Amino acid sequence: MEESVLRVGTRKSQLAMIQTHNVIDALRQIHPQVQFEIVTMDTIGDRILDKALPEIGQTNLFTKDLEIALADQKVDLIVHSLKDLPSTLPEGMAIAAIGRRAMTADVVLMNPKYRNTKISDLPQNSVIGTSSLRRIAQLKRKYPHLSFKNVRGNLNTRIKKLDESGVYDALVLAGAGVLRMGWQERIDQELTTDECLYAIGQGAIGVEIRKNDAKTFSVVSCYTDFNSLICNAAERAFLRFLDKGCSVPIGVCTDFTESKLTMTGAVFNLDGSKYVKHSDECMITGLSDKNQCENNYESLSSIMCSSEICKSLMEAETLGKHIADVILKNHGGEVLAEARKIMKADQK
């Protein structure tokens, strides 16, 4: 490929910059002739900090401004935490690569007075900081003696609030972000999937492009990790057929080992008192005949891939859709409708 410059859109936070540099470093190893220029910007989610995320009333809080820049050709690609991306992207956009997944679990960081303890050890009415309805719903079920309070800001800000504000006894955060920041010594507990199923896409980094930009796709597609792609295709298909956004309490656990894809999905009402959960598995049969798929196939979950692996991608998506269908047939839609009704009332 001839020498060229690609402009990379990202948020301004320290974590976003670390993730962006990780992607660029990986791409430079394969495409040393390509120059990368980072373009940073604040998103709606970065600017509105006085409300819990669900109260703002949008699902693309951390992506919309970046996607506008992509549509206007001010950037050529965007680096995202994949869990921030709704299952349906704007017209003309697609996920061109998904990197190797880091830790999927949520983790607990304790206030200094409770260091080296577990969430089950906290006293009655201890305050847990999180803005995630998914975490709150599940942890209320497991630990009804705890209270939950919104906490906003980047990771640095939230940890400062934990240590200095006197409001929070613990925070629950995505483990991958904590590890990427180099703060592994602050982790007091890794939550199991029995305690808290994780968010769709959690732990993975995605690269979004204009789907008609073959040149950029040819550069960034090499960043894709096949196992991560398969798991995230299933999860995003599951989300798409349950809810168009990613705010209501929905959790997953996915594993892909020796061609077998196993997935658990669940939906919850806001206090966790009602939930519907289902697990299933399928075999991923492998690479496709090139004639079976269109070139650079774009999946139902807005993921682009080469024609050779699109069959595997579709098999993963089929499993995700199947689990969503089973949940809906077992009154999962009613559970989500209850959550949405309360959320809508809270936004007024």
- Number of Cβ within a 10 Å radius of residue 338: 17
Concatenating the DSSP letter of every residue in 245-276 gives SS-SSEEEEEEEETTEEEEEEEEE-TTSSSEE
How far apart CA 225 and CA 212 sit, in angstroms, is 22
Beta strands in the chain, from DSSP E residues, in sequence order: 4-11, 34-41, 77-81, 93-98, 106-110, 127-129, 147-149, 170-174, 189-190, 205-210, 250-257, 260-268, 275-283
How far apart CA 76 and CA 10 sit, in angstroms, is 11
Nearest in space to 214 (alpha carbons), one of 290, 289, 295: 295
CA-only gyration radius of the chain, Å: 20
Q: What 3 state SS string does 25-36 have?
A: HHHHHHCCCEEE
How far apart CA 199 and CA 67 sit, in angstroms, is 22
Residue with tokens 């401004």: 65
Give the rounded distance of the alpha carbon of 140 from its chain centre: 22
- Amino acid symbol at 325: D
Kindly give the interhelix angle for 332-347 and 310-329, rounded to the nearest 10 degrees: 90
Task: Tell me, yes or no, if 188 is annotated catalytic.
Answer: no
Cα-Cα end-to-end distance for the chain = 53
Catalytic residue among 46, 84, 106, 188: 84
The contacts found for 291-300 with CB under 8 angstroms, 24 or more apart, are 296/214, 296/217, 298/94, 298/211, 299/233, 299/237, 300/237, 300/240
- Amino acid symbol at 141: R
Active-site residues: which are they? 84
